[in-house]
Structures are given as structure tokens and as C-alpha cells.
Amino acid sequence: MRATRALIHLDNFIHNLKEIRKFSSDKKMCVAVKANAYGHGAVECARAAVAFGADFLAVATVEEGIELRENGITAPLLMLSLCDPLEIDDAVKNRITPLVFDSEYINLFDLSCSKFGVTDFAVHLAVDSGMGRIGCYAHEAGDVAQCIKSSKNLFLQGMCTHLCVSDEVSPESIQFTKKQKEIFLAAIENVRSRGIDPGICHCSNSAAALNLDDFHMDMVRPGIVCYGYYPGDLTRKYFEEKGVSIDLRPVMTLETKVSCIKSFCADQSVGYGRTWKACKNTRIAVLPIGYADGMLRSFSAAGIKVSIKGKQYPVRGRICMDQCMIDIGNDSNVSRWDTAVIFGDPRYGASITADDVANSIGTISYEITSIITKRVERVYLKS
Ligand SMILES: *Cc1c(COP(=O)(O)O)cnc(C)c1O
């Protein structure tokens, strides 16, 4: 096996799901496993989530849904993005539940169901309460529900909306999130007033699942917290200050090994563009991980350090496609083939998390784990 791999701590994943359940108690849970489970491996995470008791799994695309079905996952799948008309037959055949909100899309699904003799196809009605993405406006929800009801083969299994600033703590954002809930409740009422049961109502992403009890409704829909990261402003410190006990543990450790060590004299340079030069004699270790693995070029300028046996060493020069170089000084701590950890679980030698990496380059943990590419093997650890 290649030295560069992502350890996936399924014990931490289950621990995080238990933490979420402490907040959402008896509510249904839809675990987001879209984008290859935020880079952690969709099939294994989906299996673990179902074994834990997740009621739904959320995917973004038909292909992601098919991957789960082909691996024997029978749990209800919610598809959070719209698919292409050419993918609808596959969505129907694989019982991938779409979010719908207009008659054109509803009719395409209905027709496809007729083609395959499917007469009880679940759909969820999406409401745009302020995200400005998919969904109908609240005043249209009754008509859309009516359209679903009048279809031949579809039934309204649930209603949802998506919050866009629930992870922010400014008064303005808190106000906006409250308004989104009111809009969603109005949409639900609009559907009820037609004598139609709205079914399972849900709007809580990770931030609302942990921080806004009164948004849980019938189901919570967490993603990032399942993988061990705090959403937005709702950091570990934020919860500590609030006196709320919540302990999230990183599910991925990205590691590699030292592939060689070389001595450097003062003035020798490292890598493309010769952007770094040794100012004194030192030793440089080469790691077989690069931007094509998800170790982005921007990590280098951001001063991200790699951990070897509990000590941190800076990346030098530009990160290449498949390799990068670190400065290990004249420290005898490091030997060839030693494990070098980029980020992850401290039990496995990490000094930083994907959140620290994200903060250094001005992005969010979501992006750091989900860009770990396919050639990095995921190694699943149960304990
Ligand atoms: C991705 C996504 C979620 C999960 O979001 P997190 O912030 O990761 O909890 C929930 N709902 C929808 C519609 C999403 O697209």
C-alpha cells in the first residue's frame, strides 16, 4: 500500500453521531454522506451511519446514490441537489428521493415512474426560505404540494429548507435564521391548509442540530459534525463558554511517510521556482504527497507544518503534484520511512486538524477533507 493514506476513524464517527443524538434525542436523523462523505468514503460511512440508526442518508447526485445502492445500502436516500433530466430514470430505479419544487421536475419524475411501474415514489418539497438556491417560495408551497398530490405516482414524504447563516453568531444572522424558520413554517401551513400532510419536516444542518433545539422539527440533517468538525462560529470554545458539553473528534487522519532524507548546505534551494533557500546547513525530508492528493500548493505559503513523532516541521518551497519537502533541521528525531501526519486525530500523531489547515488558508474544514483525492486510499479503523 502507498505511504500516503487517509485513516478513517469509524469509532470517532460513531462517537460524533452519539454527540449529535444527545441534542436531537428522538428526532429522525439524516446523515449527509454526499461528496464521498466529505472525503471520508461514502459506502463505509453510510454503513456505519445506518448501523448506528440513521433514518436517511443524504447524497448530492444520482451517481452517489447508485454507489450506495450497489453496495447494498437500502436506507432511504435524499438527493440534495437537482439532477439532470437524463438521470431521472436512474434516480427512480434506485429509489433516490429528490427534492422537488416545480411542476416540470415533478412531471419528469412522475413520467419516469410510470415507465417503470413505480407507483409510490417519495419526494420531499424544498422551500427556499433565504438560501437563494433550490426550493419554491413559501406562498407557492401549497400549489407544489397539490401538484405532487395530483401526480400519478409520487407522494409527499417530507418538506425541507436550508439555513444559510445558522453557523454565525452575529445578531443579524441570528435574526435571519429565525426569519427563515418563520418562512418555512408558513410554507408548511400553506400545505396543511390544502388538507395535505407535509410529512417529515426538516431544516437543521449541523449548526442548527447542535445549537438550535427549536429547529429540529421531525428530523435533523447534519454533515460536517459527523466528521468531527465544528461549523462556522460554533467552535469548541463557543460551546465551552455557553456551558454546553459537546466533544467532536476528527474522523480523518491524513498521513504519509518520509521517502528520503537529504543534507542541504546553505544556499541550496528546494523545488520549483526555487522559492526557498536554506540559510544554513540543514536536512530536507521528501514526502510522497502533493496537491494531486489534496495537499494543496497553498499549504506551503500558509506555513502548515507536518508532524513526525510529535514534532512539527515546516513545508519548504512549492508543493509539487505528487511530492513535497519539509525541513527537519539537524534533528535526529526523524528517520527514513517514519510516518508524517498532515492533519487529523491526535491519537494518531496529528498536531493539527483539518480546521487548523482550513483557517490557515482561508477556507473551511469541509473543503479540506472533501478534496482528498481518489488516489489516497481510505483505511477504515473501527477502534
Ligand atoms: C450539505 C447539506 C447539509 C449538511 O450541512 P452541514 O453544514 O455539513 O451540516 C444539510 N442540508 C443540505 C441541504 C445540504 O446541502
Amino acid at 66: I
| Active-site residue flag, 366 | no
272 is catalytic: yes
**What is the reported pLDDT for 332?**
85
Confidence (pLDDT) at 193: 98
Q: Which residues of the chain have pLDDT under 50?
A: none
Closest atom of ligand 1 to 225 CA is 9
Q: What is the DSSP string of 223-245?
A: -GGGGT---TT--HHHHHHHT--
Half-sphere exposure of 328 toward its Cβ, with a 13 Å CA cutoff? 26
* CA 223 to centroid of ligand 1, rounded, Å: 6
Ligand 1 pocket by C-beta < 6 Å: which residues? 32, 34, 80, 162, 205-206, 221-224, 231
DSSP state of 367: H
Nearest alpha carbon, ligand 1 atom 10: 205
Choose which residue among 79, 202, 221 to substitute to test ligand 1 binding: the one with the highest number of ligand atoms within 8 A of its C-beta.
221
Q: Which of 196, 185, 194 is nearest to 155 (CA)?
A: 196
CA dihedral 140, 146, 152, 155 (to 10 degrees): 80
Confirm if 284 and 314 have CB atoms less than 8 A apart: no
Going by their DSSP bridges, the two strands 269-270 and 276-277 should be labelled as antiparallel
The tens digit of pLDDT for each residue in 55-72 reads: 999 999 999 999 999 999
Using left for φ > 0, alpha for ψ between -120 and 50, and beta otherwise, residue 130 falls in: left
Q: Which residue CA neighbors atom 14 of ligand 1 most closely?
A: 80
Residue of the nearest CA to atom 4 in ligand 1? Answer: 223
Torsion (CA) 186, 187, 190, 192 in degrees, nearest 10: -100
Q: Report the candidate in 374, 362, 345, 247 with the shortest Cα–Cα distance to residue 8.
A: 345
Q: Whose CA is nearest to atom 8 of ligand 1?
A: 223
Q: 213 and 200 in contact (C-beta within 8 Å)?
A: no
Distance from Cα 32 to the centre of ligand 1, integer Å: 7
pLDDT at residue 331 in the model: 78
Of the listed 34, 181, 257, 305, which one is catalytic? Answer: 34
